[in-house]
Amino acid sequence: DLATALNNRGQIKYFRVEFAAAVEDYTAAIECQPGFEVPYYNRGLVLYRLGCFDEAMKDFRKVLELNPQFEDAALSLKQAILDKEEKQKRGY
């Protein structure tokens, strides 16, 4: 289906380090199928790598709302919270 295709294309762009383009594809996949948790997770990973911790945490929380058993999302959320706290402690 279209959402899966968009998510997969986003993965290819992510692996090519084309982060902005990957986020666009993940967002399009979400708009196409809002109940599909995987593009939220993938978008969250890109946002996390870019240091956008609040946005990443929002996506990881959405994944867990849609699928509470998604362990990688739970781990990523915990890591984003820790990294955001560390960033704040250091003052940047």
Span 54-76, pLDDT tens digits: 999 999 999 999 999 999 999 99
Mean pLDDT of 18-25: 98
Helices (DSSP H) in the chain: which residue ranges?
A: 2-15, 19-32, 37-49, 53-66, 71-90
- What is the rounded average pLDDT for all residues in the chain? 96
Entry pTM: 0.94
* Domain covering 2-90: architecture: Alpha Horseshoe (1.25)
What is the residue extent of each domain of the chain? 2-90
Q: Evaluate if residue 32 carries a pLDDT over 90.
A: yes
Residue 91 confidence (pLDDT): 81
